[in-house]
Amino acid sequence: MSGGSGLAIRPLLEEGKDQELSELLKSLHPADIADALEPLGMDDIVKVVSLLDNQTGADVLVELNSQARDVVAQGLPVERLTGMVQEMESDDAADLVGDLSSDTASEVLSNIGSEDSEEVRRLLMYDGETAGGLMQLELVSVLETDTVEEAVGRIRRMAEEVGDIGHVFVVDSLGALRGEVSLKDILLAGPSDTMAKLITKPPGLVLQADEDQEIVAQKFQKYDVKVAPVVDHQNRLLGRVTVDDIIDVVHEEADKDFYRLAGSSEEELYVKSPLRTAGLRVPWLLFNLGGGIITSLILRAFQASLEKTMVLVAFVPMVMSISGAVGSQSATITVRGLATGRLAGGNILRNLGKEQKITSIIAISFGVVIALISGSLNRALHIGLAVGLSMAAAILVSAFLGAVTPVFFKTVDIDPAMASGPVVTSINDVVSLLIYTAVGTALA
């Protein structure tokens, strides 16, 4: 493995062995340095970063989580920070500057040179969660009429600035994208071959600057590309998105959905204080509290009839648990389908139909089993019927709500992932208890 572990950083810091620490840092991969820094205190993080050269410092800053990055941005002299920003690729520089306080940001921007600061300002205009927000401006573009020799000249001039070149993009004299040529094809062609001869047209994937990052990630996955050009509505080449950013997007989007499903927010990843973390979870639990108050009122309202049939009450936790679980299965699976693009267009309706069949099978089989259990436990057929039927009805309704709510949320432009956490659970609690007590007391 490249670099090895950064575990040795902390002891060297504590013993104040700056010389050995510098040596160690040179042998480590920036991603490993970032990993080692994140758990350290403010002063230690700033101290280690200040020991790095600007290029390594830039690479470490890019890998750090936003909390540790804030610490560095506040603690590092602004000249060092500027030096590091200058070494970053434009997309990383824009991400960092976008996170700085406005004072520090403008100081950094005024010091990194007018061309770089112009690039950063241009990138900051795009929404961070679109193709424009993901793209970098560093790329090699050539003209259709360029020969291989001329193209190699352009690559040579850009080699320092553009880290990773797998393709060059071919544009016409107005800057409109015509296609792309792989470095392999350039390497194997004759020196006087023109780009027009080598062009792949259309390129694997072309992105619009305003496309949402979730859609962009789905397209990268579908078309198996490693880099894609970004164009404006006039098809003019603006930048490129590389696949390493896409992996981060896929991770981020999955993180977001997991946290929202749980009834919290992905902000938890950047918050250290337990009190503030609790503050992210509590609002969602208020739905459970509200649902709980309503269920307690329902049970009070049915108190008279329930006291006669205490056996019904004994099955309340079971009905809530099973119908909650069935509803949450439908909801989670629908949310994931919507997030991955598997559920779109006509598939959405087809999925609702399928979910209804699946959950009907589950509702009927559990209804029968529970009727048998409760009937024989109480040696009374009508009790069994009452519990089994009301259980089946509660499961069916919960499942329907579970499958429909994410679709409804998506339609009204709320993140569907919010629909399968506490919100749906609480609605389900109320509805399934209402159905259960109403059907149960009527039959028992």
Nearer to its own copies by Cβ, of 125 and 381: the residue is 381
Length of the chain: 444
Q: Cβ of residue 408: shortest distance to its own copies, in angstroms?
A: 19
Q: Cβ 195 to its own copies, closest distance in Å? A: 15
Nearer to its own copies among residue 107 and residue 210 (C-beta): 210
Q: Shortest distance, CB of residue 16 to its own copies, whole angstroms?
A: 24
Residue closer to its own copies by CB (options 44, 107) is: 44
Residue placing its CB nearer to its own copies in the complex, 108 or 417: 417
CB distance 8 to 35 below 8 Å: no
User: What does the alpha-carbon distance between residue 98 and residue 92 come to, in Å, rounded to a whole number?
Assistant: 10
Least distance (Å) between residue 221 CB and its own copies? 5
Tell me which residue of 71, 78, 133, 72 sits closest to 106, measured CA to CA: 78
Q: How far is the CB of 39 from its own copies (least distance, A)?
A: 8
Is the peptide bond preceding residue 202 cis, with omega within 30 degrees of 0? yes
Instruction: Please name the helix (run of DSSP H) or strand (run of DSSP E) that holds residue 158, with its range, or none.
Output: helix 148-158
Q: Which is nearer to its own copies, 18 or 255 (CB)?
A: 255
Cα gap 385→184, rounded to integer Å: 73
Minimum Å distance from CB 422 to its own copies? 5
Name the pairing type of β-strands 167-171 and 177-182.
antiparallel
Report the residue number, 78 or 183, with the smaller CB distance to its own copies.
Answer: 183
CB of 106 to its own copies, least distance (A): 29
129 burial level (CB within 10 Å; 0-12, 13-18, 19+) = middle
List 208's β-bridge partners, or say none.
231
The strand pair at 177-182 and 207-208 is best described as unpaired
Give the pair of three-digit tokens for residue 44: 């230690």
Rounded CA gap, 98 and 67, in Å? 14
Beta-carbon contacts of 267 under 8 Å, excluding residues fewer than 6 positions away, are 280
- Cβ closer to its own copies: 284 or 409? 284
